[in-house]
Each structure stands twice: as C-alpha cells, then as structure tokens.
Amino acid sequence: MRVAVLTISDRSSRGEREDLSGPVLIAHVEKQGWEMVDAAIVSDDHRDIVEKLSSWSDNGGVDVILTTGGTGFAPRDMAPEATRAVIERETPGLVEAMRAASMRITPHAMLSRAMAGIRGRTLIINLPGSPRAAKENLDVLIPVLPHAVDLICDDPDAESGHRKTSFPAV
C-alpha cells in the first residue's frame, strides 16, 4: 500500500513549530510495511490543502493520504472542508469508528470534524493534529485499510481475503 502524509499547520508550514505528528504517522506507516511515497506540510489554507490532496490523488501513485491537523473548531481548521471539496465519495464509517474509539479516551473526541472519502482510486483520511491522537486513530483503521484499498482499486480478489477482525482497543 502506498501512503502519503500531509501535515496541515500554519506554524509548521512557516517553520515556527516542529511538525511532530507527520513523523509519528510516517514511522507508524513504515512499521506496517506500507510504502511511504510522499510527505509534506501545508498551511491551514483551503486552497493549499485542496491543491495538495488533488495532486497526490490524481497522479495515481498514492493509495491512501493521511492528513494530520486542521480538524478542530478553530477558525483556520480547514481540513474537513478541503477534503470534502476534493473527494467524490464519503466514507463515514471510518470517521465514525475513529470517533467512537477516541470517545473511550477523551470526551474531546466529539469536537473532531474529521472527514474521509475517496477521490479516484485514493482514500483520503483526516486525522487529529496531536501526535498521540493521530497514531491512536490510525491504529483504529489499520485492520481495514488494506481491504479498503483493494476494494477501491477494484481488485478482483478483494473479497477472497474478507475475514472477521477484532476491533482494536485504543
């Protein structure tokens, strides 16, 4: 599986704050044995996010884009709106699963406005900006992401490996 990680942060994009979440996600992706094909940092600007998500999705070289940051209530948190502008089909079950698992850890999880969806043959998923929360939310999705990518890519054998998996404890 080919993965790209996009950090969405005004301060990190200006070099005022170190990006901590992006590297955590990259390490976790590589730990799964998945291929990291790209990583970038953009500001919380709607246009910048849309351009990067569109570019990565449309080049055909990325199966999954994980974004981190920009999913909260702050006025500049634009990840969900930019993602919604780019995707062709929403995948609400992924966000529902992340939020349900996170609610067992903190009531603040209900403040997440994360979005997930499909553009072409690329799955785009918004994760929180906190390194710990980003990793915890990715952990919720790890059991289903390879199968999701197989389905998106219309792999004729996608259903042959369909089996019951347990939901990870967060």
Domain CATH for 97: 3.40.980.10
Residue 70 located in a structural domain: yes
Residues 6+ apart with CB under 8 A from 12: 18, 19, 41, 69
Asked whether the predicted pLDDT for residue 168 surpasses 80, the reply is: no
Residue 34 located in a structural domain: yes
Residue 145 located in a structural domain: yes
Residue 162 located in a structural domain: no
Interval 109-122: pLDDT, tens: 999 999 999 999 99
Quote the pTM value.
0.93
* pLDDT value for 158: 72
Residue 169 located in a structural domain: no
Interval 62-88: pLDDT, tens: 999 999 999 999 999 999 999 999 999
Q: What total of structural domains would you count in the chain?
A: 1
* No. of helices (H) and no. of strands (E), the chain: 7, 6
Residue 24 located in a structural domain: yes
Residues 6+ apart with CB under 8 A from 41: 6, 7, 8, 9, 12, 13, 19, 22
Owning domain of residue 64: 2-152
